[in-house]
Structure 1
Amino acid sequence: MHSPSTQNWLNTQNNSSGLIVKRTLRIDIPVDQYPSLPLQYNFVGRLLGPRGNSLKRVEATTECRVLIRGRGSIKDPVKEEMMRGKPGYEHLNEPLHVIVEAELPVEIIDARLLQAREILEDLLKPMDESQDFYKKQQLRELAMLNGTLREEGSQMSGSVSPFHNSLGMKRAKTRV
């Protein structure tokens, strides 16, 4: 059995002030800061990742909600144009940005928002594709989700058939 002081130490989060606060921060997506980038650099795709999984991981890690807003936040430009000006879509008149929301105990909310900001700002720094480990991980994850992942150097790299080795190679001769 735990002594009262040990029990108290183990449940420090439960013994917080109990005050839950809601805070929001905005991070502008630096579309205009990189004029030398290819026109179609996909900041939104980089944030979302395969099937939205990258953004979901940021949310799970930080316990913050992350929303992509502004011009270019809707994948289909025709749909975005139709939604512009409608109630709830006023953000489409603003530059592309991210809203980070948190509703957490007052003792941890600032740390979680800072953590989310650091992760997102890091993702929003364009880099040369050959150096972009994060994008390589996203593409690998997408291949896994689609069932098309082929490991470099694996025996199946030339074929998707699981029978490649057994049918394509002769058996070694054995002495009888």
Structure 2
Amino acid sequence: MMQFNFVGRLLGPRGNSLKRVEASTDCRILIRGCGSIKDPTKEEIMRGKPGYEHLNEPLHILLEAELPVEIIDARLIQARDVLLDLLTPVDESQDFYKKQQLRELAMLNGTLREEGSPMSGSVSPYQNSLGMKRAKTRG
């Protein structure tokens, strides 16, 4: 069974993916529930404390918006649709969103190595063996 890191996928490199969805929809996106705190030890310490009651619930997303009444529903629906699309598991070989996030992370870390077209959909392992090896060992 394929592991799917919902929180990591939603946040993206340094939280940038989440920030972009928030900026484009004017909605605030909060990750809540069991597994929403990166450090399991800290999550266990916080469980039961005021403001952390959500840790007893399954992992979920809370959308908030303070917008004029005539646009708020449309913006919340837009945010929900973007998140549903983003959080639908896809096969690793077809996961262009994850490839984009890994590329962004490499750029942020200064470790990006250009090897042909960065968003190429079909790459022969013989043309690009280093890139293929790296892609398979990530995650």
Tell me the distance in 2 between the aligned counterparts of 1:69 and 1:54: 17
1:1-176 matches, within 5 Å, as 36-38=1-3, 41-153=4-116
Larger strand share, 1 or 2: 1
TM-score where L is the length of structure 1: 0.65
Q: State the alpha-carbon separation in 2 of the partners of residues 76 and 143 from structure 1.
A: 23
Q: Name the aligned partner's letter for residue 37 of structure 1.
A: M
Rg comparison, structure with higher value: 1
For residues 10 and 83 of structure 2, the distance between their equivalents in structure 1, rounded to whole angstroms, comes to 7
> How high is the sequence identity, in percent, across the aligned residues?
83
Q: How many residues align?
A: 118
Which 4+ stretches in 1 moved above 4 angstroms?
none
Question: Matches of 2:51 and 2:116 in 1, distance apart?
Answer: 50
Q: More helix by proportion, 1 or 2?
A: 2
Secondary structure at 1:71 match in 2: coil
Alpha-carbon distance in structure 1 between the residues aligned to 2:73 and 2:63: 12
1:153 and 1:128 map into 2 onto residues whose CA distance is 23
Shift of 1:123: 1.1
Aligned to 1:12: none
Give the whole-Å Cα distance in 2 for the aligned partners of 1:129 and 1:37: 9
TM-score, normalisation: structure 2 = 0.82
Amino acid at match of 1:51: R
For the aligned residues, what is the CA RMSD? 1.4
- Extract unaligned runs of 5+ from structure 2: 118-127, 129-139
1:100 match: secondary structure: strand
**Which residue identity does 2:88 align to in structure 1?**
K
One-letter amino acid of the structure 2 residue matched with residue 108 of structure 1:
I
Q: Unmatched 5+ residue regions in structure 1?
A: 1-35, 158-176
